C-alpha cells in the first residue's frame, strides 16, 4: 500500500491509503455534500485548502467534465473514506494528492472542535511522516494569502453573451464558479468577466448596469481593489455579490467580517428570509462571514443554525448580496430567483439612468 500521511496543526499525524501521489499543504476543511464532488473539486473557493469529504464514498457516478465549475481542481489535496478509481485517476492527472481509508468522522470532529487548521500532506512510495510535517511547517494561514486572487481570477476581460439583449453585468472574478456566469446568461444578460483587481476606469468604460462581485477563496480584507471598486460605484451603479462578494461589499461599506471556526461547506444549509418567514435550503462554501454589516446594509436573511448573515440589502443604494450560492451546482435550486432580482435591479437602473449631456 502506498504510504500516505496527514500532519495536523498541533502535531498529530494521521495515516491512510495513498491513492494519488504528491506533497501539499493547506487549510484543512470539510464538506458535508453527498453529491456534487465534481463541482466541489473544481470550485475556486477551495484554493489553498485540503478538502475532506464527510460522505463515505466519493466517485460513485463517475467524472463528467460538463459538471465542472472551472477548468482545474482547486483543493491542494483530497481526503475521503473511500475514493473510486475514476476520481483517483482524475486527481492523479491533475497532480493533486489523494488519501482514503481515513476515519473521516474523526477528521470532521477534529475540525468542528478545533476549527479549520493547517495541515501537511505526503503521499508516495517512499514518503515519511517527516515529509508531511515539513509540508505542515510550510503552510500559511488563509489570511496570509494576500495575493490569492491571482491564482483564481482571469488575467484579461472575457465577454460572454455579447449578442444578448439583457443587462450588462460587470462580474469581478475573485474565483467565480462557471454556473454563476451560466445563470446570468440563461437570463439573457451580457457578462463581462473582469480580473479581481480591475481598475475603476476600465469598469467605468463598460458602463455596466450592475457591478457583481463573485465568490472566491481567502480573507475578504485582502481584496483591496474589489473593495475600492465597490466604494467607487455604489452610489451610481447597482451592486450584487455572492459569498466572498457579500463580504467584500460589507467591508466596502463600513461593515466588518470575521473568520468562522470551521465555516459552512455543504448543500443543505437552512436559510431564513426575515421578511417572508420562509426557510430555503442552500449550497455554501465559505470560511469567513459578515460580522457587522455597518450602517448602509440591512440583514435580510440569516442562517438557521448560527444566525450568521446570509442576505444583505442596501438601505440607501441598490445592493443585494447572498452569502450562499443561489446557483447551487451542486445542491437545491430554491434560490435561483436571486438572479432574477439582480437583473430586475439592473434593468430598472438602465431605464431610469439620466443620459449624459451632449
Q: In 3-state terms, what secondary structure has residue 327?
A: coil
Interaxial angle between packed helices 337-352 and 178-185, expressed in degrees from 0 to 180 and rounded to the nearest 10 = 60
Q: In 3-state terms, what secondary structure has residue 314?
A: strand
Would the annotation count 284 as a binding residue?
no
- Three cell numbers at 356? 449624459
Identify whether 25 is a catalytic site residue.
Answer: no
CB burial of residue 65 (10 Å; 0-12, 13-18, 19+): exposed
CB burial of residue 225 (10 Å; 0-12, 13-18, 19+): middle
Tell me, what's the pLDDT at 217?
Answer: 98
Give the closest residue to 92 by CA, choosing from 32, 21, 25: 21
Would the annotation count 228 as a binding residue?
no
The one catalytic residue in 27, 48, 82, 327 is: 327
Would the annotation count 218 as a binding residue?
yes
Tell me, what's the pLDDT at 355?
Answer: 53
Would the annotation count 143 as a binding residue?
no
The one catalytic residue in 145, 192, 286, 325 is: 325
Would the annotation count 45 as a binding residue?
yes
DSSP bridge partners of 168: 190
Identify whether 325 is a catalytic site residue.
Answer: yes
The one catalytic residue in 27, 38, 243, 310 is: 243
DSSP bridge partners of 239: 211, 319
Give the closest residue to 104 by CA, choosing from 178, 52, 41: 52
CA distance 121 to 125: 14
Would the annotation count 285 as a binding residue?
yes
| Residues 115-139 pLDDT 10s | 999 999 999 999 999 999 999 999 9
Residues 6+ apart with CB under 8 A from 101: 16, 17, 81, 82
Would the annotation count 216 as a binding residue?
yes
Residue ranges of domains in the chain, CATH in brackets = 3-140 (3.50.30.20), 149-352 (3.40.50.880)
Ranges of the chain with pLDDT below 50: 356-358
Tell me, what's the pLDDT at 328?
Answer: 79
- Look-up of cell digits 465555516: 263
Amino acid at each position: 500500500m502506498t504510504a500516505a500521511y496527514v500532519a495536523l496543526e498541533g502535531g498529530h499525524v494521521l495515516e491512510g491509503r495513498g491513492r494519488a501521489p504528491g506533497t501539499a499543504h493547506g487549510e484543512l476543511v470539510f464538506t458535508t455534500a453527498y453529491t456534487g464532488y465534481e463541482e466541489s473539486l473544481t470550485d475556486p473557493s477551495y484554493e489553498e485548502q485540503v478538502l475532506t469529504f464527510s460522505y463515505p464514498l466519493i466517485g460513485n457516478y463517475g467524472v463528467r467534465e460538463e459538471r465542472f465549475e472551472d477548468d482545474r481542481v482547486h483543493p491542494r489535496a483530497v481526503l475521503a473514506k473511500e475514493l473510486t478509481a475514476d476520481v483517483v485517476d482524475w486527481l492523479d492527472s491533475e497532480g493533486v494528492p489523494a488519501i482514503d481509508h481515513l476515519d473521516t468522522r474523526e477528521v470532521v470532529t477534529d475540525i468542528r472542535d478545533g476549527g479549520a487548521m493547517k495541515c501537511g500532506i505526503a503521499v508516495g512510495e517512499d514518503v515519511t511522516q517527516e515529509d508531511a510535517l515539513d509540508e505542515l511547517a510550510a503552510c500559511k494561514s488563509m489570511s496570509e494569502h494576500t495575493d490569492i486572487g491571482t491564482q483564481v481570477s482571469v488575467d484579461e476581460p472575457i465577454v460572454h453573451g455579447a449578442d444578448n439583449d439583457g443587462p450588462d453585468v460587470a462580474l469581478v472574478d475573485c474565483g467565480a464558479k462557471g454556473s454563476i456566469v451560466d445563470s446570468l446568461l440563461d437570463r439573457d444578460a451580457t457578462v463581462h468577466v473582469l480580473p479581481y483587481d480591475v481598475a475603476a476606469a476600465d469598469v467605468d468604460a463598460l458602463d455596466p448596469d450592475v457591478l457583481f462581485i463573485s465568490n472566491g477563496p481567502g480573507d475578504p480584507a485582502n481584496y483591496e481593489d474589489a473593495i475600492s471598486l465597490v466604494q467607487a460605484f455604489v452610489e451610481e451603479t447597482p451592486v450584487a455579490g455572492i459569498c466572498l462578494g457579500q463580504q467584500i461589499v460589507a467591508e466596502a461599506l463600513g461593515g466588518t467580517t470575521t473568520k468562522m471556526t470551521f465555516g459552512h461547506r455543504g448543500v443543505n444549509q437552512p436559510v431564513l428570509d426575515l421578511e417572508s418567514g420562509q426557510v430555503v435550503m442552500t449550497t455554501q462554501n465559505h470560511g469567513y462571514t459578515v460580522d457587522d454589516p455597518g450602517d448602509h446594509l440591512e440583514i435580510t436573511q440569516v442562517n438557521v443554525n448560527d444566525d450568521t448573515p446570509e442576505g444583505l440589502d442596501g438601505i440607501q443604494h441598490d445592493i443585494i448580496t447572498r452569502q450562499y450560492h443561489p446557483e447551487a451546482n451542486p445542491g437545491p435550486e430554491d434560490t435561483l430567483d436571486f438572479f432574477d432580482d439582480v437583473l430586475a435591479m439592473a434593468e430598472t437602473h438602465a431605464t431610469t439612468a439620466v443620459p449624459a449631456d451632449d
